Amino acid sequence: MDISQKKEAIKTNKDIIATKEEIQKILNNFEEHNFKHFLIFRFLVDTGMRKGSLIQAKLNDINLKYRNIHIKKGKTGEKIYNYSKELTDKLKIYLKERKSINVKTNYLFLTKSLK
């Protein structure tokens, strides 16, 4: 059966857009309860980058001086994303802690199992 023969409508949330207030509430909640998730969400909000690109981000992709992240491998190719001064200040805190974790991987964000 091909898709044109399918009778029930495909359910999607592509037309649902969060308001600025809703995004701010999400950010506030993450900032209070999970700093790493706050940074991840904040990167996505500040830069508009795809989640897959952020997943591929490495520690050495971050440039604090110029406030950007240079993604070398992603769905849309190589890109440089700029982020806010406020995010830079919070990122410095995270990077200090992240670099102190003794793991073999260079990814910016680690899973709970440190991978």
26-56 confidence digits (pLDDT tens)? 888 888 889 999 999 999 988 988 888 898 8
Instruction: Please give the backbone phi and psi of residue 89, each rounded to the nearest 5 degrees, phi first.
Output: -60, -40
- pTM to 2 decimal places: 0.74
Q: How far apart are CA 76 and CA 72, in angstroms?
A: 10
Superfamily assignment of 19-100 in CATH?
Answer: Intergrase catalytic core (1.10.443.10)
Under a CB-based contact definition with an 8 Å cutoff, are residues 44 and 55 in contact?
Answer: no
Residue numbers in the chain where pLDDT is lower than 70:
1-7
Mean pLDDT of the chain: 86
